[in-house]
Amino acid sequence: MPVFTHLENDRARMVDVSAKGEVYRKAVATGTITLRPDTLSAIRDGTVVKGNVLATARVAATLAIKDTPRLIPMCHAIPVHGIDITFDYTKTGITATVTVISAGKTGVEMEALVGVSTALLTIWDMVKSAEKDEKGQYPVTGISDIRVLEKVKQDL
């Protein structure tokens, strides 16, 4: 029978990390949203009717990173010491890369992944009217390749 770290007597529980020492932690996550060429041009040109898409996505990702423990049930609230969010245009979309830095007792991978996911979802929300076809569907739009690129854990 496996031993579960977040389950005790069939009850979910958060792992106690109080005995762990604080260490430097960094996680870098990425993901991509595929968009229509006209939508990409509108984002680049700053002509999207809802406003500045990437600035809005950057703010949304920052807020989501800070709210990760409210979204992921067993995540610990950790001190977030640094956040960097970048966007790169590809031929078919935009790649978001999120770096989260902390000094704490547990990692920051979930924060980076939540940040990337929220940035990409915000982009989608900001341009959804341009992405829909005549039937209200999204034949091109998609979010993919969300993953952790790097995890760092070092003594302070």
Q: What angle do CA 49, 64, 113 make, to 5 degrees?
A: 105
Q: Within a 13 Å sphere around the CA of 2, how many CA atoms are in the beta-carbon half? A: 5
Amino acid at site 9: N
Among all residues, which ones are annotated catalytic? Answer: 125
CA separation for the pair 98, 83 (Å, rounded): 7
Alpha carbon 121 to chain centroid, angstroms: 9
Q: What angle do CA 89, 91, 93 make, to 5 degrees?
A: 55
